[in-house]
Amino acid sequence: MRWRGKRESNNIEDRRGMSGPSMGSLGGGGGMLRLLPVAFKFLGFKGTVIAIIGVLAYGFFSGNLGSILGFVAPSQTQQTASTPVKQSVEEKELAQFVSVVLADTEDTWHEIFSKAGKSYQEPKLVLYRDSVKSACGFGSAQMGPFYCPVDKKVYLDLSFYDDLKKRHKAPGDFAQAYVIAHEIGHHVQTLTGISSKIHKAKQKLSEVKANQLSVRQELQADCFAGLWAHNANRSRQIIESGDIEEALTAASAIGDDRLQKQSRGYVTPDSFTHGSSEQRVKWFRIGLEKGSYSACDTFSAKTL
């Protein structure tokens, strides 16, 4: 991916220098419970259970259990202190890369929104290490990147990219860019009111039907990631040989079927919340090839 020398975003919120395990101040009830779907996305059932046990054990012995679960109001929790960020040369370059990709998504979505007569509101991207507090609850590196619609921020621990490369066998800078573009896709869904409609609709549905709606929402975010790649390459020629294959490998690597197979040895389609590997690849391709917002209407599609 041709990213060096490109504009960096002003919307990076670097919390990697935060000291002290403040897992409270979560912006409302529910705490880490709100992030269970995110954990399951990357860890599977067994991995999520292990992560929860670890977090709860930490909360019990540190006295922060109520804060972690979201039962303590933000005013009751202790804030963490900030120290200068210590980072390796490789991590510094990766943080710069993330900033450039975020800036490129800004350029793309400003253009798309402007053509529709609307204004694009840029999100913040929070860099953190190990654990983080968001308006949606407590997050950890094991849960992978996530977007919080309450504070309109993307949360990313850079160590996830090492996990993407080694555990999921999806290396490459464009695979990394795809992950960011997918989360920005959720931000677009929030700005356009899609996320709110989905949230309300799911409350009236059975678990299976609600999961199916979640799959459509996630696949649209994949399509939006492809849409970003299409427009960014058309306007700024960022794609190099092998980049598309990297993104497709990443999309396939985090399909529900593949993750479930890895974590527990069998697959239960009714529990899918993000889509199969085949579906995720398909909808990224649609966004990439069509390059239009309307092509990403996964909710009207008869088949996924």
Q: Given this model, what pLDDT does residue 44 score?
A: 60
Q: Given this model, what pLDDT does residue 296 score?
A: 98
Q: How many CB atoms lie within 10 A of CB 297?
A: 12
Q: Given this model, what pLDDT does residue 49 score?
A: 59
Q: Binning pLDDT at 50, 70 and 90, where does residue 132 land?
A: very high
- Higher-scoring residue by pLDDT: 154, 75: 154
* Vertex 8: Cα angle to 5 and 9 (nearest 5): 165
> Residue 292: left (phi > 0), alpha (psi -120 to 50), or beta?
beta
Q: Binning pLDDT at 50, 70 and 90, where does residue 86 land?
A: confident
Cβ neighbours for 39, distance < 8 A, ≥ 6 positions apart? 47, 48, 51, 52, 142, 143, 144
Q: Given this model, what pLDDT does residue 221 score?
A: 98
Nearest to 176 by CA among 241, 247, 248, 280: 247
User: How far apart (Å, rounded) are the C-alpha atoms in residues 187 and 89?
Assistant: 30
Q: Given this model, what pLDDT does residue 141 score?
A: 84
Q: Are 26 and 133 in contact (CB under 8 A)?
A: yes
Q: Given this model, what pLDDT does residue 28 score?
A: 39
Q: Given this model, what pLDDT does residue 178 score?
A: 97
Long-range contacts formed by 75-79: CB under 8 A, 24+ apart: 76/24, 77/22, 77/24, 77/25, 77/26, 78/20, 78/22, 78/24, 79/22, 79/25
pTM equals 0.81
- Higher-scoring residue by pLDDT: 59, 5: 5
Q: Given this model, what pLDDT does residue 84 score?
A: 73
Q: Given this model, what pLDDT does residue 62 score?
A: 46
Inform me whether the pLDDT recorded for 33 exceeds 80. no
Q: Given this model, what pLDDT does residue 140 score?
A: 87
Over residues 244-299, the pLDDT tens digits come to: 999 999 999 999 999 998 889 999 999 999 999 999 999 999 999 999 999 999 99
Over residues 201-245, the pLDDT tens digits come to: 999 999 999 999 999 999 999 999 999 999 999 999 999 999 999
Least confident of 7-16, 29-38, 67-76, 206-215: 67-76
Cβ neighbours for 117, distance < 8 A, ≥ 6 positions apart? none
Strands (E), 110-233: 124-128, 131-134, 137-140, 146-148, 153-157
Inform me whether the pLDDT recorded for 40 exceeds 90. no
Rounded to an integer, the average pLDDT of 153-169 is 94
Q: Binning pLDDT at 50, 70 and 90, where does residue 63 land?
A: very low
Q: Binning pLDDT at 50, 70 and 90, where does residue 77 land?
A: very low
